[in-house]
Amino acid sequence: MKNNLIQKALLILMIFFLSGCSWKRSTSEPQFPLSTPTHTLQPSPMRSTPTHTPTIIVQTSNNSLLNSPQPRSTPRPTFSTDQAKNFLLELIQQPGGCRFPCFWGLIPGKTSLKTAQQFVSQFGNTVTKNIEVSSHDYGDVGGASLAYTINSIHVVVNFSYYKVQSSESVDLLRMFSYALNDYGPDPATGVTQLAPIWGTEEFNQEMSGYLLSAILNRYGPPDQVLVGTWLEEPDYYGRVTYRPFSLVLIYLQRGFMIEYQSLRESEGQDYIGCPYKSHINISTWDPKGNLPMEKIVEKASLEVAFGSLRSLEEATDLTMDSFYAQYSEDGAQLCIHTPANFWQLVP
Q: What are phi and psi of 154, to 5 degrees?
A: -100, 115
Helix (H, G, I), strand (E, B) or coil at 338: strand
Q: Which helix (H) or strand (E) holds 60?
A: strand 58-60
Sign of CA pseudo-dihedral 84, 85, 91, 92: positive
Q: What pLDDT was estimated at residue 6?
A: 43
Q: What pLDDT was estimated at residue 85?
A: 85
Concatenated DSSP letters of 111-170: SBHHHHHHHHHTT--EE-SSEEEEEEE-SSEEEEEEEEEETTEEEEEEEEEE--SSSSB-
**142-169 tens-digit pLDDT:** 999 999 999 889 999 999 999 999 889 9
Within 8 A by CB and 6+ apart from 270, the residues are: 337, 338, 339, 340
Going by DSSP bridges, is the β-strand pair 279-285/270-273 parallel, antiparallel, or unpaired?
Answer: unpaired
Distance from C-alpha of 269 to C-alpha of 344, rounded to nearest angstrom: 12
**DSSP annotation of 197:** -
Sign of CA pseudo-dihedral 21, 23, 25, 27: negative
Q: What pLDDT was estimated at residue 329?
A: 93
Closest alpha carbon to 47 in 233, 227, 247: 233
> 32 with 44: CB under 8 angstroms?
yes
Q: What pLDDT was estimated at residue 8?
A: 43
Q: Is 112 exposed, middle or buried (0-12, 13-18, 19+ CB in 10 A)?
A: middle
Where on the phi/psi map is residue 247: left (φ > 0), alpha (ψ -120 to 50), or beta? beta
Concatenated DSSP letters of 231-296: PB-HHHHTT----EEEEEEEETTTTEEEEEEEE-EEETTEEEE-GGG-EEEEEEE-TTS---HHHH
Give the Cβ contact number of residue 305 at 10 Å: 25
Strand partners, 267: 270
Q: What pLDDT was estimated at residue 127?
A: 85
Q: What pLDDT was estimated at residue 345?
A: 64
Rg of the chain in Å (alpha carbons): 20
Torsion over CA of 191, 136, 286 and 322, rounded to 10 degrees? 20
Q: What pLDDT was estimated at residue 201?
A: 95
Q: What pLDDT was estimated at residue 234?
A: 53
Strands, sheet with 265-267, edge to edge from the N-terminal-most edge strand: 265-267, 270-273, 336-339
Within 8 A by CB and 6+ apart from 91, the residues are: 97, 104, 105
Distance from C-alpha of 154 to C-alpha of 10, rounded to nearest angstrom: 9
Per run of 10 residues, the mean pLDDT along the chain (length 347 residues) is: 43 41 34 34 47 37 33 57 85 81 95 95 87 92 94 94 94 97 86 88 95 96 96 57 92 97 95 97 96 94 93 97 95 93 73
Distance from C-alpha of 215 to C-alpha of 129, rounded to nearest angstrom: 33
Q: Is 40 exposed, middle or buried (0-12, 13-18, 19+ CB in 10 A)?
A: exposed
